Amino acid sequence: MKQKFKKYLPLAIWILVAAITITSVAFVNMQSSNTVCKELQIKIVDSDQKGFIDNSDVINILRESDKFPTGKNIVDINTALLETILETNPYIENAEVFSTLDGVLHVEVSQREPIIRIFNANNECFYIDEKGHSMPVSDKFSMNVITANGYINDNAASTKIKMINDTEADTLKQIKTVDQLFYIASSIKNDTLWNAQLVQMYVNSKNEIELVPRVGNHIILLGGVNNLREKFDKLLIFYRKGLNKKGWTDYAAINLSYKGQVVALKRTPIVTAKADTTISN
């Protein structure tokens, strides 16, 4: 008898658990079918860093879509559709919508992360976010990111960023200007030093890219994006060994486009310095 009891005990426990689960699900479904959405709780998860979107914007987006959930039965609310509607907004990166048994619909929104602000040749201004999507500028918030201007013909509507890696940057012969700017901006953002020092990019009439530093009265001629890491290494060496000795106001331009050397234009003659790419601490 005891052996039979031990044999069927696991099966009996499994049946009991299944019965409880089914009963609980049925109860929850019954409760949900009678629960009306009485409140909308909105959370902008990154509101302390960015201010493109606030709670009132989220409410307006839902109202304009004719899918505003308050007053509707919870079971009749299509949360996936509400997420899709919110994510069509150019400032919203991700939206999560879910309900609780107390009749509250929770909306959590995160915003896009711009890394560059572009002023093109047609007097248009727009951001590009870290995933390569264009974003309009906002009247209510301005993100502190590197800017780019000059001979840039790409506009916001036609901008589709090609994500290029280091190898492609060194080998591709033709890279769109906006793709080069995005690649440089991404590299700068990921480097603490250059993110603090470099504030602007300018595309000149030869389609060469110039960098404007925060500290120092000079421009940095980058040329293209080929050998970008090497160019930044050369610039760091020149800052440490050149500008620290000669002075940060003595040079008008620093040219990084030459292989293995930095050509610095003083406010008098041109000085050419070999670049030792080995950086010592």
> Any idea what the CATH number is for the domain that residue 48 is in?
3.10.20.310
Ramachandran quadrant class, 253 (left: phi over 0; alpha: psi -120 to 50; beta: rest): beta
pLDDT at 10: 64
Do 136 and 75 reside in the same domain of the chain?
no
Last-in-domain residue among 66, 84, 111: 111
CATH of the domain at 166: 3.40.50
| Domains in the chain, number | 2
Q: For the whole model, what pTM was predicted?
A: 0.78
Last-in-domain residue among 47, 80, 111: 111
Last-in-domain residue among 69, 87, 111: 111
Q: For 119-139, what is each residue's pLDDT tens digit?
A: 999 999 999 999 999 999 999
DSSP H stretches of helix in the chain: 2-33, 55-64, 79-87, 166-171, 177-189, 192-197, 228-238, 244-246
Residue 141 belongs to some domain of the structure: yes
Q: Which residues of the chain have pLDDT under 70?
A: 1-33, 157-159, 244-246, 268-281
> What rounded mean pLDDT belongs to the chain?
84
DSSP track, 69-137: -TTSBGGG--HHHHHHHHHTSTTEEEEEEEE-TTSEEEEEEEE--EEEEEE-TTS-EEEEETTS-EEE-
- Burial of residue 181 (CB within 10 Å: 0-12, 13-18, 19+) is buried
Residue 280 belongs to some domain of the structure: no
Give dist(CA 60, CA 81) in Å, integer.
16
Q: For 184-204, what is each residue's pLDDT tens digit?
A: 999 999 999 999 999 999 999
| Domain coverage including residue 145 | 114-274
Do 69 and 146 reside in the same domain of the chain?
no
pLDDT at 103: 92
Give dist(CA 135, CA 50) in Å, integer.
14
pLDDT at 20: 58
Do 125 and 60 reside in the same domain of the chain?
no
- Burial of residue 174 (CB within 10 Å: 0-12, 13-18, 19+) is exposed
